Structure 1
Amino acid sequence: MPHIPRKATALLASAVTVCLLAAGAPAEPLGIGDRLFPHLGNPGYDVASYDLSFSYPGTNSEPLQSVTTINAWTTTTLDSVNLDFAHGDIESVELGGEPAAFTTAGQDLVVTPDEPLPTGSWMRITVRHTSDPRPAKDRDGGWVRTADGLAMANQADAAHLVFPGNDHPSDKAMFTIRVTAPNGYTAVANGLPTDVDRSRAATTWTYRTQHPMATELTQVSIGRSTVLRRTGPHSLPVRDVVPTKDRERLEPWLKKTPDQISWMEGKVGRYPFETYGVLMADVDTGYELETQTLSLFEKALFTEPAYPAWYVESIMVHELAHQWFGDSVSPRTWSDLWLNEGHATWYEALYAEEKADRPLAARMKAAYSASDRWRAAGGPPAAPKAPNPGQKISIFRPNVYDGAALVLYALRQEIGHPAFERLERAWVTHHQDGVAGTDDFVALASEIAGRDLSGFLQPWLYGEKTPPMPGHPEWKPAAPVKAPAAK
């Protein structure tokens, strides 16, 4: 997507980090110390809920007038509160219903109360701001401009390009999302609809989640769209969002979702949320995204004849599997990304094996051959290298996809199919609606297997070289490619 310069007056409003500042000290960007994104997230408080309101002007090249209300508990005494926010103008800030002083520091919006907030106090922060859909310089993600409106792609470090918040997956919260758009547009967001308010010129839609959600999983679709509804397992409401002009063309793919949900439930247990569906957006992002309850897909994935049907269906299952792995069970840190992508890749590959006769072992053998090269380029699966400058999504490298699925294959080889399947079900049950990390997975795997697996998993997760594959001594890493000799 081409870069469109922002107006010089746009504020670098920043990362909602809870400022543990001494009174009178200058504002500074903080963070919770994530290894990959050190300034992301904020210490000192726990968000309970977000209330987001967006007013779409009828064009995706102008900012949306927006209001973000954050309800949170303090976990320490705070002289100031940092919020992650980096791509909009701030009109005003209220704390507890009263005007509050604020400034910016790096990618943080820093709010200063009249008196320090004591530990365990309830706080409500309301920020009136713009939300800018134009690309942010040197940053990717946030609003995605589609052919007929907008969608969101907030992974991994980009929700704060859309709204202020505590933008780290370890702080999940409930969401209420209101979108006002001119008549002729349709707005859909995470969760279930609770209200539609129509007037002569515009309509306001309200959606609410029934399960906590990480900021990076927020989704709002605004476009000339049709919402198609069907029923999944256990009367689960399934709703898909498609460009109205393409609804008939896309229906053959949409109708596959209920059976795919049933297939995943057969592997890991009941679907964890109140609804599901796919958002097929007329946009070129280069990726698909597991936004909670409403996965984002490029329309071209379903209309480009070069993609075989089995491949398209397996990618649909990849994003569906994320609803368990990554959405319901969110990563404790971004270094735990392998737990999201490795599992989604695992079930994508397993689906292709069972439905399209694409052997899992063949894919894993190919991954084993490439694994040393992936580790050298991107780091081991559980200790990925930092993103490239200005490219937050560059952490999504092969080492956390097939490289991480290879770890799961090795684990299944080591403990056997029955124990592995028990582990997968236990993982999504024990940590449903929560956060978990690599150490939690190793501990649970050891518990299920009845023996300490840390020694086995350590080199698979953190080693520079790929360990021998249990049961396949003949598998060998590919020889490194040698640079041509200088002449």
Structure 2
Amino acid sequence: MRVRIGAAVAAALLAVTTAVAPAAGAAAGQSSRPSPGEPGAGDPYFPLAGNGGYDAVHYDLDLRYQPPTPAPAPLTGELDGVATITIVPTRHLTRFDLDLRGLEVESVAVRGRPAEFTREGDELIITPKTILPRGKAVDVVVTYGGATGRPTDIEGALYGWVTTRDGAMVASEPEGSMTWFPVNDHPTDKATYDVAVTVPEGLVAVGNGDLVGATTQDGRTTWSWSSREPMASYLVTASVGNYELRQTTTPDGLPLIDAIDRDLPPSATAGLAQTAEMIAFFEGRFGPYPFSSYGAIVDDDSVGYALETQTRPIYSRRATESTVAHELAHQWMGNSVSPARWQDIWLNEGWATYAEWLWAEHDGGPTAAARFDEVMAIPADNSFWQVVVADPGPLGLFAGAVYDRGAATLYALRSQIGADAFDRLSMEWPSRHADSTATTEDFQALAEKVSGQDLAEFFDVWVRTAGKPML
């Protein structure tokens, strides 16, 4: 939920899909002639994010982190890592890239043999000793490390491995994972993850998925986490802090693991109290919860927003009830079904905001109709209506209209196709594209199939053009 606190933006096993890099990827993938992979996945907003020529299917990250020394020393940590990445070439591969920003690379091995590597900007370019055969999995081992700071995205917002005084807040949307590990950093290349983080004894490192174990030796504790379901790289976290781990289960037996900063008052986490009820509520609308566990990370430091990191969203200083509902809904809409292009982010944020409306109505707050009316009461000459929701531009990914007009679009769609058809759509969308990615065109096609209506004009008016829709 990249709505920045106090910011102007807030005020207002998987192949790269044909929607991303269609020509180059398809042509190269069909050729038997050995060739290098592309330096990007071809996303129009972030052309060099991700890479071509292979699928990354698993990451095993072994990290060692030393947080900053006490103030007034600089807010800089030290991160050392060994990343073992299992890739499957989609062509006979002579060379390939990983995304990595800032950190130094000590060595690279491919298939157990040293490989040549160079750096160009945020690209780690790797040339193995021999050609990698198409379709045969190989392990790539990168040993790397360096100083951590407080990186920012193209809008100047903190993201990636954000160093804090007692650890780090790790929130990487849209392409900030490359600030802390070598990665194919685009949602179209989902993978499973094992992450082990060794930190000074007394600190806790929190990752995605299931807690495998924690072992302490020589004054340092290694926290090991495993994510069994495929995950987009921007949803990976390994946050470190002065956390208390609180482990419970829902009535249906789903593990809930919350990491709460010990310095926060009880009021900071009051919004988590209804998590189990929210899960059951959204399961009734979107289908079974898609992952093996859930929880939250609430830190007393701040990146200025909350983020739906898979299975374990991160919250800056406070987890409010509405934000908790929003991040939970993302587990279906955004995490299990992720955007095939960053311009499709309204399918994440519109759905999560609409889910907020549904939960508030269920819990005795304003109705979804009232929230829709609030959006439609915004004057037609307001800049809010000038954002093209299905193509907001790289600097408009987190514009208010992406969230609120996106939610209003879904409310209007329900009116257009009827409640029964919309309820079927709400279930079938996350089921059909589970653990994968999709586009606005995919969503329109499914809505048309479920409803039996031609919805081209509806989608053109609501998400593909600027201007206030006429009701």
TM tier relative to shorter chain: 0.7 to 0.9
Distance 1:116 1:28, change over 3 A: closer
Distance 1:128 1:404, change over 3 A: same
Distance 1:295 1:396, change over 3 A: same
Distance of 2:224 and 2:130 partners within structure 1: 35
Q: CA deviation at 1:324?
A: 0.5
Q: Which amino acid aligns with 1:440?
A: D
Instruction: Give ranges in structure 2 of 5+ residues lacking alignment.
Output: 5-20, 29-35, 69-74
Q: CA deviation at 1:201?
A: 1.3
Distance of 1:132 and 1:351 partners within structure 2: 42
Show the counterpart of 1:347.
355
Show the counterpart of 1:429.
431
Distance of 1:157 and 1:340 partners within structure 2: 16
Q: For 1:400-411, what aligned pairs fall within 5 Å after superposition?
A: 400-411=402-413
Q: Is 2:278–2:359's contact at 8 Å kept on the other side of the alignment?
A: no
Q: CA deviation at 1:233?
A: 4.0
Show the counterpart of 1:230.
248
Q: CA deviation at 1:77?
A: 2.4
Distance 1:138 1:242, change over 3 A: closer
Q: Which amino acid aligns with 2:322?
A: S
Which of 379, 389, 409 is equivalent to 1:381?
A: 389
TM-score (norm 2): 0.86
Q: Does 1:129 align with 2:147?
A: no
Higher mean C-alpha displacement, 128-137 vs 61-70: 128-137
- CA deviations over 1:56-104 (Å, ceiling 9, x no partner): 1243622211111110111122221100111211111111111110001
> Helix, strand or coil for the counterpart of 2:307?
coil
Q: CA deviation at 1:51?
A: 0.7
Show the counterpart of 2:33.
none
Higher mean C-alpha displacement, 196-205 vs 356-365: 356-365
Show the counterpart of 1:263.
281
Show the counterpart of 1:34.
43
Show the counterpart of 2:54.
45
Q: Which amino acid aligns with 2:186?
A: H
> Helix, strand or coil for the counterpart of 1:271?
coil
Instruction: Give ranges in structure 1 of 5+ residues lacking alignment.
Output: 2-16, 21-26, 303-311, 388-393, 470-487
Q: Is 2:52–2:96's contact at 8 Å kept on the other side of the alignment?
A: no
Q: For 1:75-90, what aligned pairs fall within 5 Å after superposition?
A: 75-90=90-105
Q: Which amino acid aligns with 1:459?
A: V
Which of 412, 415, 432 is equivalent to 2:414?
A: 412
Q: Is 1:145–1:283's contact at 8 Å kept on the other side of the alignment?
A: no
Q: For 1:245-394, what aligned pairs fall within 5 Å after superposition?
A: 245-246=263-264, 248=266, 250=268, 252-299=270-317, 301-302=318-319, 312-370=320-378, 373-374=382-383, 377=386, 379-387=387-395, 394=396
Instruction: Give identity over the alignment, percent.
Output: 37
Q: CA deviation at 1:255?
A: 2.6
Higher mean C-alpha displacement, 202-211 vs 336-345: 202-211
Distance of 1:152 and 1:251 partners within structure 2: 19
Q: Does 1:108 align with 2:126?
A: no
Distance of 2:357 and 2:381 partners within structure 1: 21
Q: Which amino acid aligns with 2:333?
A: F
TM-score (norm 1): 0.83
Show the counterpart of 1:219.
237
Distance of 2:290 and 2:199 partners within structure 1: 30
Distance of 1:46 and 1:278 partners within structure 2: 29
Show the counterpart of 1:443.
445
Distance of 2:377 and 2:147 partners within structure 1: 44
Distance 1:251 1:384, change over 3 A: closer
Higher mean C-alpha displacement, 187-196 vs 253-262: 253-262
Distance of 2:42 and 2:398 partners within structure 1: 20
Which of 451, 461, 467 is equivalent to 2:469?
A: 467
Which of 112, 118, 122 is equivalent to 1:97?
A: 112
Q: Which amino acid aligns with 2:101?
A: A
Higher mean C-alpha displacement, 362-371 vs 118-127: 362-371
Q: Is 1:189–1:207's contact at 8 Å kept on the other side of the alignment?
A: yes
Distance of 2:193 and 2:347 partners within structure 1: 24
> Helix, strand or coil for the counterpart of 2:394?
coil
Q: Tell me the number of residue pairs that the alignment of Structure 1 and Structure 2 aligns.
A: 431
Distance of 1:290 and 1:131 partners within structure 2: 27
Show the counterpart of 2:208.
190
- CA deviations over 1:193-234 (Å, ceiling 9, x no partner): 223222131111211111000100001121121100111142
Higher mean C-alpha displacement, 170-179 vs 236-245: 236-245
Which of 201, 204, 213 is equivalent to 2:219?
A: 201
